[in-house]
Amino acid sequence: MSQQATSNKLQEILEILDWKEEVWSQFVYNTGLQYLYIRYAADAITPEVLNRSRLFWNWWKNQWQIRDEAFLDKETKGFLPLQKLPLRKRVMQYFLLHDARGLVNEIWPNRDIVDGAYSEVIHTFFNPTTEAE
């Protein structure tokens, strides 16, 4: 999907939810953190590693876009247009679609993302950039 199409879809989401982009961004981030800590509940290290990984967050944004498209696609599949629903119901549908507790059973980063995240952290640890330079 082009950057312009992604931007248009985001604007449509923001309008439907009556949110500012900052609210949406914080929701995406907080849900990602919640997902990590639920998915890797028995592991204290992996959520911290993935939280610091560009690979994980790119994967997460991609998964989020897929769900946003499904949210917007409901209108074209015979559902009541989202704008005709009360705001409270629109927001609740969006929350349910992106609920971290449900997503842990539906999506997970593949091994390449997890291994790559650990590599990123190790590289950063052993090759820190100094601000003094």
pLDDT at residue 131, rounded to an integer: 47
pLDDT at 91 over 90: yes
Where does the pLDDT of residue 130 fall: very low under 50, low under 70, confident under 90, or very high at 90 and above? very low
pLDDT at residue 77, rounded to an integer: 60
Q: What 3 state SS string does the chain have?
A: CCHHHHHHHHHHHHHHHCCCHHHHHHHHHHHHHHHHHHHCCCCCCHHHHHHCCHHHHHHHHHHHHHHHHHHHHHHHHCCCCHHHCCHHHHHHHHHHHCCHHHHCCCCCCCHHHHHHHHHHHHHHHHCCCCCCC
Give the mean model confidence (pLDDT) for residues 63-69.
Answer: 95
pLDDT at residue 83, rounded to an integer: 79
